[in-house]
Structure 1
Amino acid sequence: MTKKKWFLLTFVLFAIHFVAVLAWVSDGFTHFNYTLDDPYIHLQLARNIWHGHYGFNSAELSAPSSSVLWPLVLAPFSSFGFYELVPLVLNIILSLCFAGYLFKILEKRGWSERATFLVTLLGLLVINCVGLALTGLEHVLQILVVLVIVDKILMRFPDEKVGDQNDVSVAGILALALLIRYEMLVFWVAIVGFYILSRQFRKAVLVGSLSLLPLVMFSLFLSFLKLGFLPASVMAKTKSHEVFPLSLLGNVWANVVSRPGMMLILLTLVAVALCVKSKKANITNLWIIITPAVLHILVGRFGWFYRYEVYIYLYLSLLILMLIDFKKMKSSWVAVWTVFFVIVYWPYLGSVGKLRQACRNIYYQQGVTVDFLNKYLPEAIGTNDIGYVGFKHPFYVLDLYGLASKEALDYRLHAPNFDWVTNLAKEHNVEVIFVYLKWINPNSDWVKVAEFETTERSVVLGYPILWVYAKPTRVAGLRKDLIEFQKTIQRDPIKLRIY
């Protein structure tokens, strides 16, 4: 077949796979929600941005998104009738772009059409591109930009200078990367550090400063709004009650003993070994390989439904492919490398089987909560998992976890107990809250009224049981409403216990 036919075949097979998975998770296209609660935070923030307000609740400033760019991309669509599906549509388009771009990169490295076709399809499967798309988040855009970094900045790795093209172009690519997710700072350090090590000081200063400028401006914007310099979603991952070195050591230990962390170390060591074997292990090439991986292990996270580390896995895998000469390789070694990558990416390949259950988790916990709220509680409420509830409930939602409330975040990270819940609730006229007890444990000012337990296997929920608490004056009325609501969910995989 011609190159064009191989290229089209890649697109067609991936599209069929995507449609099949989408039909499965949406019960034959009858109902769709994302596999996580998080995209609804972005959707709500983007809707408010379009109306001139930066925050999750329309009456409260907040920075709940860990991506600067993604809510801005969604904002112009907020008045469309299909707005909730916009992240899915965008991710489908970006996934197809990713497939085409990966095909082109491999083709430019001199791979045969058949090998390019097979590796592209295998790559799309092992990184679970469809699963990333169904999160409704910015991760497909993130891995697409990783391809751009490898293709445009590292295109002649390991033979010639890295990033030797136009300074503004390199700065633009890095700036885009940083606005997508903060983890992409690992590439900023790698590229700017390369310039310094190769004594290209002018490039280091120019590229480094220009690429950081948009992110710095965003931080100043947040500071102007009195929200600090980093989004709450970034700060929420810290343990600010710990001394920084202890917190850092704890994060490193948790990372290196986990399977994803071990696989990241393995990918790094394999890339270094191949670089040494090819006699190209100079300090700059080793820096380009090792630095992003080390930084991710130091300050990055792994997991949360196979999302956080995919970008760095992809980066190292592409460097490995650039260091291997498949043209001269025996078929037995091709099989060995195939098995190696399947082993590394096995959990991500297998995560496809969890996608439908993830969608059901969100629907039968947050979705059922929203149904109850919209039928019986047309008022402000509090909860610790705000995305779906905040997007669907047309009243104020007090975020007790702190992504949409800087005040709640500060209390949660610093306060010795949960007395602050009562104070914040009173300030916002909240008398009913829905919480995970392992996250938020209300004091004696609150009465436990009920609990919603998801009886199916949990793959993405913070906890399978959601407890309902109320102020004493609301208990009797709330119990009556819950008893009435209980009749409507008899056939759902939910146990509603009323106290």
Structure 2
Amino acid sequence: MSGVAADRAPLPRSAAIWRSVPLLAALLWLGLFATALIFSVILCDGRLIFTLDDPYIHLAVADHIRSGGYGVNASEYSSPSSSIIWPYLLVVTEALHLGAFGPLLINAAAAAGTIVAFLRILETAGLLDPVRGKPLCVFVALLAILSSSAIALPLTGMEHSVHVWATVATFGGLTEAARGRAPTPVHFVALVLLPLIRFEGAAFALAAIAGYFARMASLGLPLLPSSVLLKSHVAETAYEGTTTFAPILHNLAASFDDPTGFRLMLLGLALACAMWPLRSDRGALIVCATVLAAIGAHLAFGQYGWFYRYEVYVMALAVLALLYAVAHARTRLSAPQWTAATLVSVALAGFVSVGYVSAALETPFAARGIYEQHYQLSRFAQQLYKGPVAVNDLGLVAWKDPDFVLDLWGLGSERVRKAKLADRYGPGEMAALADEYHVGVAMIYDSWFPKGVPAAWKKVATLHTIPVTGEQGDVVFYITPAADPKVVASALKAFGPTLPARDRLEMNAQ
């Protein structure tokens, strides 16, 4: 048999599996993700605790949706969720009594799906050849894991992992359209999910619609109703009481100053350069131009930070688009030029993914930080004090709490939000709300209330913790006129000795 014939001979099933880059990358991710999860559980004394307090807001909302309400308290409506559809997905997992494992399982599945979709797109584009280009396959597989933050992001417990998957899958639909093929139902599901899972997804969804129009109109394929895609930052500008133009300028300036925003701009510039050899390939140009539009939209409207989660969808998209463009440029460049372009693109993609490596390494410690502060506050409120409380960092305290939880920051309280918007929020409003809801204990960060707290509130203790993703390490306990001081003192007395070793409860002199 000739060498050519031998190359084309079908591989044994086991050999074919081990040459599947997406499968091997998924297995590598599973090992890394399991390691991070196990260390997180160990550091949290055997409990599954997310690296942020925010996912517990969504779980609380899901529980109240099941009982006919919407918000973090059964007695009032509020809109603390950052996603349209995420709380409703958690309604299903809560109905199955999965608790925190519900969002974890959804996110893990989304992260695995993202890696597979990412690498299949690049396989189709011709970038990956496990026979002749093993080193490149290894680096690209690692980039698929790291640029999508597939290790740390699922353990935030938030909806971002699904958002990243929907972004990558929608990009896959665009690449199929560029090849003259109809996107699959999965691609359309992802497109619909984009603005529903995160409001930021509207930008890429609208850009993708434009791309579909440009490439698919001749195919007569139906497009989704625009009503599900027209979600934008108009609500945010209305909340701030400013025009739309000012926030755009502010965000652009912030993008230049923020290291992550700067990296995103570098990716955008690199993608624009990679498009030059593709100027005769209309389909690939439309795909890349759509991604450039999404990058520009995030620079103008998007946010950064909060444990590397707000911008990860567009970073993963930009990395994928850059590698896709390089793959398509292969036949239009000389071998040395293409090799140089590939090395530069992979190196740049690795550079912009550094933050997500840091997030993966910090994940177990971030979970421990939430356990040592927010979980302990929840335990105090629900197991020891057992009465209405006020907080400024909503999440674990509200989830599964049968008593009223007053959010003094406004995320879970429409009255607080409106008072802050009208610039009339201060100690008087805080006292009135606490009295109305019979709140006996407030557990807050003092620095979040520059106007101070009500004069009738008495500082009784401070919980000292070591935060990672938490905003502050010190949580101050106040009792209000509605409290029975003896009940609070008894609860605090029982609370102190049961805290984790790194925590310290400092009691104030009475």
Partner of 1:460: 469
SS of the residue 1:390 aligns to: coil
Code of the residue aligned with 1:262 in structure 2: it is F
Q: State whether residues 175 and 212 of structure 1, in contact with CA within 8 Å, keep that contact through their aligned partners in structure 2.
A: no
Partner of 2:8: none
Equivalent of residue 121 in structure 2, options 105, 109, 113: 105
Code of the residue aligned with 2:195 in structure 1: it is L
Matching of residue 488 in structure 1 with residue 498 in structure 2 = yes
Q: State whether residues 153 and 165 of structure 1, in contact with CA within 8 Å, keep that contact through their aligned partners in structure 2.
A: no
SS of the residue 2:80 aligns to: coil
Partner of 2:346: 338
Q: Offset of 1:381 from its aligned partner?
A: 1.0
**Alignment RMSD (CA, Å):** 3.2
Deviates more, 1:17-26 or 1:192-201: 192-201
Code of the residue aligned with 2:253 in structure 1: it is W
- Work out which of the two has the higher radius of gyration on C-alpha atoms and give 1 or 2: 2
Aligned partners of 2:68, 2:437: CA distance in 1, in Å?
22
Q: State whether residues 186 and 292 of structure 1, in contact with CA within 8 Å, keep that contact through their aligned partners in structure 2.
A: yes
Code of the residue aligned with 1:437 in structure 2: it is D
| Partner deviation per Cα, 1:152-197 (whole Å, 9 max, x = no partner) | 123355xx67xx7479987654222111111011113313444677
Aligned partners of 2:186, 2:40: CA distance in 1, in Å?
40
Partner of 1:267: 267
Aligned partners of 2:414, 2:213: CA distance in 1, in Å?
38
SS of the residue 1:402 aligns to: coil
Q: Structure 2: 5+ residue runs without aligned partners?
A: 1-10
| Partner deviation per Cα, 1:352-375 (whole Å, 9 max, x = no partner) | 121112111111111111222234
Partner of 1:288: 290
Aligned partners of 1:316, 1:367: CA distance in 2, in Å?
36
Deviates more, 1:475-484 or 1:342-351: 475-484
| Partner deviation per Cα, 1:217-269 (whole Å, 9 max, x = no partner) | xx9xxxxxxxxx999xx75x976255554344323322221001111111111
Aligned partners of 1:265, 1:118: CA distance in 2, in Å?
22
Aligned partners of 2:200, 2:437: CA distance in 1, in Å?
34
Q: State whether residues 56 and 404 of structure 1, in contact with CA within 8 Å, keep that contact through their aligned partners in structure 2.
A: yes
Code of the residue aligned with 2:77 in structure 1: it is L
- Listed as ranges, the matches of 1:403-414 within 5 Å are 403-414=411-422
Q: Offset of 1:121 from its aligned partner?
A: 3.0
Q: Offset of 1:45 from its aligned partner?
A: 1.1
Seen in structure 2, the aligned counterparts of structure 1 residues 431 and 321 have a Cα distance that, compared at 3 Å, is: same
Equivalent of residue 187 in structure 1, options 195, 200, 204: 204
Q: Structure 1: 5+ residue runs without aligned partners?
A: 220-228
Partner of 2:3: none
SS of the residue 2:157 aligns to: coil
Partner of 1:60: 76
| Partner deviation per Cα, 1:51-70 (whole Å, 9 max, x = no partner) | 22222211211221111122
Partner of 2:479: 470
Partner of 1:240: 240
Aligned partners of 1:92, 1:268: CA distance in 2, in Å?
28
SS of the residue 1:154 aligns to: helix
Matching of residue 128 in structure 1 with residue 149 in structure 2 = yes
Q: Offset of 1:298 from its aligned partner?
A: 1.5
- Listed as ranges, the matches of 1:418-457 within 5 Å are 418=426, 419-440=428-449, 441-454=452-465, 456=466
Q: State whether residues 177 and 215 of structure 2, in contact with CA within 8 Å, keep that contact through their aligned partners in structure 1.
A: no
Matching of residue 213 in structure 1 with residue 230 in structure 2 = no
Q: State whether residues 383 and 400 of structure 1, in contact with CA within 8 Å, keep that contact through their aligned partners in structure 2.
A: yes
Code of the residue aligned with 1:258 in structure 2: it is D
SS of the residue 2:200 aligns to: helix
- TM-score normalized with structure 2 length: 0.83
Partner of 1:90: 106
Seen in structure 2, the aligned counterparts of structure 1 residues 197 and 334 have a Cα distance that, compared at 3 Å, is: closer
Partner of 1:352: 360
SS of the residue 1:26 aligns to: helix
Deviates more, 1:279-288 or 1:5-14: 279-288
Q: Offset of 1:33 from its aligned partner?
A: 0.4
Partner of 1:223: none
Partner of 1:222: none
Q: State whether residues 431 and 474 of structure 1, in contact with CA within 8 Å, keep that contact through their aligned partners in structure 2.
A: yes
Partner of 1:366: 374
Q: State whether residues 52 and 469 of structure 2, in contact with CA within 8 Å, keep that contact through their aligned partners in structure 1.
A: yes
- Listed as ranges, the matches of 1:2-401 within 5 Å are 2-7=15-20, 8-27=23-42, 30-110=46-126, 111-113=128-130, 114=134, 115-116=136-137, 118-155=139-176, 157=178, 165=182, 172-194=189-211, 207=223, 210-214=224-228, 235=236, 240=240, 242=242, 244-280=244-280, 284=286, 287-325=289-327, 328=335, 334-401=342-409
Partner of 2:6: none
Seen in structure 2, the aligned counterparts of structure 1 residues 87 and 473 have a Cα distance that, compared at 3 Å, is: closer
Aligned partners of 1:284, 1:108: CA distance in 2, in Å?
17
SS of the residue 2:240 aligns to: coil
Q: State whether residues 140 and 346 of structure 2, in contact with CA within 8 Å, keep that contact through their aligned partners in structure 1.
A: no
Aligned partners of 1:14, 1:83: CA distance in 2, in Å?
24
**Count of aligned positions:** 476
Seen in structure 2, the aligned counterparts of structure 1 residues 99 and 287 have a Cα distance that, compared at 3 Å, is: closer
Matching of residue 498 in structure 1 with residue 508 in structure 2 = yes
